[in-house]
């Protein structure tokens, strides 16, 4: 992985920040950007990110089809030490992967087929699972934000169209008090 292309911590955000950056930091946003060159590096990012996660964390993944959301989640599952193969839950909507050790279970949700907000996802009981699990939601923007103010938004950008380009630009943004003291810049190491 290459070094982050942007912010590393709130202190970095505030040093030399413009008005928009100051507003984002004041709103409780903390983030970093990474360049990922292969699916293997995306999985490694997931394993590294797993070390920062704990029960009660909500991770929202967004990006084009084929961007690497499930590959990242597979790495998270490996890093969290959960049971079962982490695959795309597109047709079952959600899968629960119990921990093989002392860590939290992983709840992997694919909201691609769901059109509405949290109301449509109510049957999944994510609000009940959240306190004791790490919940990862692919395609969750506009659908699960009401679960908690504290969440990690992960946006994966890739070249679209007829290309074999494996490069991904990943932006991680921590929102809320939970992520205020977390240095996401350590993910670039």
| pLDDT over 80 at 136, yes or no | yes
Q: What is the average per-residue pLDDT within 148-171? A: 85
Comparing 63 with 161, the larger pLDDT belongs to: 63
Q: What is the average per-residue pLDDT within 40-51? A: 96
Strand boundaries in 15-167, DSSP class E: 29-36, 58-63, 94-97, 106-110, 134-138, 151-158
| pLDDT over 90 at 28, yes or no | no
What percent helix, strand, coil does the chain show, rounded to 5?
A: 35, 25, 45
pLDDT tens track for 164-179: 678 999 999 999 999 9
Highest mean pLDDT among 2-11, 45-54, 89-98, 110-119: 45-54
Comparing 4 with 51, the larger pLDDT belongs to: 51
| pLDDT over 50 at 14, yes or no | no
| pLDDT over 80 at 70, yes or no | yes
Residue 147 pLDDT grade (very low, low, confident, very high; cuts 50, 70, 90): confident
**pLDDT at residue 3, as a whole number:** 40
Look up residue 151 and give its two tokens: 């969440």
Residue 99 is given by DSSP the state: B
**pLDDT at residue 68, as a whole number:** 93
**pLDDT at residue 89, as a whole number:** 66
Q: What is the average per-residue pLDDT within 17-31? A: 48
What value does the mean pLDDT of the chain take? 78
Look up residue 61 and give its two tokens: 């993944």
Q: Are 2 and 32 in contact (CB under 8 A)?
A: no
Cα-flanking dihedrals φ and ψ of residue 129, to 5°?
-75, -25
DSSP β-bridge partners for residue 157: 169
Residue 97 pLDDT grade (very low, low, confident, very high; cuts 50, 70, 90): confident
d(CA 132, CA 48): 20
d(CA 158, CA 145): 24
């Amino acid at each position: 992985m290459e070094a982050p292309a942007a912010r590393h911590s709130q202190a970095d955000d505030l040093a030399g920040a413009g008005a928009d950056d100051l507003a984002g930091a004041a709103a409780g946003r903390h983030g970093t950007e990474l360049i990922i060159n292969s699916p293997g590096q995306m999985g490694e990012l997931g394993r590294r990110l797993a070390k920062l996660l704990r029960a009660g964390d909500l991770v929202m993944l967004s990006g084009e089809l084929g961007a690497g959301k499930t590959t990242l989640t597979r790495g998270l599952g490996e890093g969290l030490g959960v049971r079962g193969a982490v695959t795309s839950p597109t047709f079952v909507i959600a899968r629960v992967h119990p921990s093989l050790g002392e860590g939290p279970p992983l709840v992997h949700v694919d909201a691609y087929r769901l059109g509405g907000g949290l109301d449509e996802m109510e049957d999944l009981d994510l609000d009940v699972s959240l306190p004791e699990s790490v919940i990862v939601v692919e395609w969750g923007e506009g659908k699960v934000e009401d679960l908690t103010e504290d969440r990690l938004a992960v946006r994966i950008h890739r070249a679209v169209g007829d290309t074999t380009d494996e490069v991904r630009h990943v932006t991680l943004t921590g929102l809320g008090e939970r992520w205020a003291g977390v240095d996401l810049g350590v993910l670039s190491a």
